[in-house]
Every structure is written in C-alpha cells, then in structure tokens.
Amino acid sequence: MPTILATGDIAPDRDVPDECFAATRDLLNGADLVFGQLETSFAERGTRLPQARHAVLCPSEGAAAVGRAGFDIISCAGNHVLDWGSEAFFETKARLEAAGVAVVGAGENIAAARKPVIRQLCDGTRVAILAYSSILPMSYWADERRPGCAPMRAHTIYEQIEHDQPGTPPRVHSYPHRDDLAAMEEDIRAAKRQADIVLVSHHWGIHFVRATIADYQLDVARAAIAAGADAIIGGHAHILKGAELIDGKPVFYSLCNFACDLRMDPAHAASRSFKEIQSLAEDWVPDFDSLYNFPAAARMSMIARLEVAEGRITEAGFLPLWIDRDAVPRVLAPEDPRFGEVIEYMTAVTREADLNGRFRAEGDRVVLEALA
C-alpha cells in the first residue's frame, strides 16, 4: 500500500548537512512520496533583503543532501523564500532540481508559483501537491512579473474589548485575503481534474504560541477541503499544533520542525526582537552550544503519514519524532516514554483549539480519527 510522508521545516546549516538526516534517511527513502518545507536558501551568492528578519544562507551542498535524504518534493512557499534575493532563490531551486527534488509553491512568477507538482505512485494513483504561504515579508509573494511564492494572505483586526480600559489586551480577528482564497480554490479544482489526490501545504499560523489556531486558518482549511483538497499539511509555527478531520479529510495545522539547525549567539539572545518572540513561548532558554535553539515544546515533532489505496487516502496519522540539541530528528519507538508524550501533547493542544481530532497508537504509528 503506497505511503506518503510529510515533514516539518528544513534548514540544514552545518558543514556536513547529511548528518541532519542520518536517523531518518532509510525511512524517507522507503516511502513512495516524501514532501518537506524549506526554511532557507542553498546558494553560493545572495544579498540579504532588508525585510528579512531571520535569514540563514545555508551551504549549497545542502540541496543534494535533501535529495539523498529521500525528499521528492520541497515547498519553497514560506517567509524565507527571498531572504537572500531572487538570485539565491533561483540557485536554490536549480540545485534542488538537480538533486531530483521538485520545487512547489514558488517560481519566476505567480503562474509558476501556483503550478502543482504531480507525481504517480506505484499503484497508479496520481497525487498533486500545491503550496502557499500566509507568512509573508513585503514583496515575497510572486506576481505577474516578479518571482516569489504563492500567497495566501490574511488580514487582522484588533477589537478593543473594554472600551473604558485603555491598554487592555484586544480580541484578535483574522480572515483570508479574498482574491488569494479564490485563487487557491481555483488551483485545487484544477489540480483535482488532473490527479486523484490533492495535497495542500500551508505555511501559516501563529508561531511559538501553544495550541492557538488563527481564525483565517480555519477559514482557509475549510475552503480548501470544500474545493477538493484531500489533506492539508501545515508548517511555520515551530511547535506542534492540533489536527482535525474536515469532511473526513486530515488537516495538520503544524508539523513543527524536521532537520532545522538554529544557532544562537549572546548578542541575538539579548536583543529586543528576540526577547519579544521569546515571550510568546513556554520555557524557551537559549543554549549557545546547541544546534537547536527552539522552545522546549519543539523537541516534540512528527512526520505526517498518509496511506493510499485505490486513488484515495485510506488512513491519516503521524510518526512521533524527538529532536535533541544536535537538531537531528529521530523517530520514536512505541516503547519510548516520549512516544506517549508526543501523543499526549497533540491530544492536549487539539482539545485546547477545539478541534475534533483524536489519536490512537497503532504499532509504531499514530492514527488520526475524529471525535464521535
């Protein structure tokens, strides 16, 4: 039975990038289709754009390492796609393609960014992948004459709750950009005419904040499923978020990280910009000797797993991961206490977000089901 695997964010920033995938290479290479989200550029040259908040130019050989790791398709639809300018993006894309990895969600113009990647599984099932980003520094989205990624922008409104109490926290509302939503729906319908299964990747949501799902994410997820998407894969938050089934179709709001190196230096740790982000998360202590400077909750991660038969997804779930200070993701065995810890965390954040997902361990995997 064909299996599709999808991972969280990838940014191998070390001298030997293959080390990042040492514990998962056999697993990924054994799957029928593997998808991931890129959070960096693999390039020799690039000029950092002024709107890039955190930008790492990873060694160019990282692209070949991603191919050797077993990835078939990589989304470049994210908030780092143009951190080092269009020249670095095109070099990254070319290096990935030379390594046998297709790029989706970004291109030389909006038409290319919206174009799906279509692959055929061993049983003849055709799978289309689309990718979009809601996390968008200014001008990172493609248009008719500019490279970038496929956008799924959103608007935010802050509602003052206590009008007689200046400075009190507001209620936050968000909703999808109307034209971007319509374009996504059109892309999904078109992809469904070419493929049996349509997977949609969204780089979206509120980073580091436990459990919370933004209003616009719920709207976009429902619109995507209604248009014909068979599964939604979410990224960007750098921690796990909840999951649900919409009309029987799985929605993973955040897969957390995968092979994502992140160093920290004392100057950055002391900066006002980092302190503001750090305040969003629970238990985030910088470790200057670690390759994995994320909140404690980011130790828990997952690989989304989809089983396919007769042109449809027959089972959705995940493989629990743990990521230590070396930033290498490792699949957890069922007898490892951390296996249950990941399930417990997913159960808690799913419930806190009022989503309908529940989780059942089945051997070395976890199955996503809907609450009755």
| Cβ-based neighbour number of residue 366 at 10 Å | 21
pLDDT for res 54: 83
The per-residue pLDDT for range 242-280, each reduced to its tens digit, is 999 999 999 999 999 999 999 988 888 899 988 999 999
Residue type, 265: D
pLDDT for res 197: 98
Q: What is the 3-state secondary structure (H, E, C) of 218-281?
A: HHHHHHHHHHCCCEEEEECCCCECCEEEECCEEEECCECEEEECECCCHHHHCCHHHHHHHCCC
pLDDT for res 273: 85
User: Which one, of 154, 170, 205, 153, lies nearest residue 349 by Cα?
Assistant: 205
DSSP category for residue 19: G
What does the domain layout of the chain look like in residue ranges? Answer: 3-370
User: Which one, of 319, 265, 260, lies nearest residue 292 by Cα?
Assistant: 260
d(CA 78, CA 338): 30
CA 249 to chain centre: 18
Rg (CA), the chain: 19
**Burial 1-40, CB ≥16 within 10 A → b, else e:** ebbbbbbbbbbbbbeebbbbbebbeebbeebbbbbbbbbb
Exposed/middle/buried for residue 256 (C-beta within 10 Å: 0-12, 13-18, 19+): buried
pLDDT profile of the chain (372 residues), mean per 10: 96 96 98 98 94 89 98 98 97 98 98 98 97 97 97 97 92 97 98 98 98 98 98 98 98 98 90 90 90 96 97 98 98 98 98 98 97 76
pLDDT for res 234: 98
Q: What pTM did the predictor assign? A: 0.97
The three-class DSSP label of residue 208 is: coil
Could you identify the residue written with the tokens 């007689």? 164
Exposed/middle/buried for residue 74 (C-beta within 10 Å: 0-12, 13-18, 19+): buried
pLDDT for res 268: 85
Architecture, CATH, for domain 3-370: 4-Layer Sandwich (3.60)
Phi/psi-derived region of residue 236, left when phi > 0, alpha when psi is between -120 and 50, beta in every other case: left
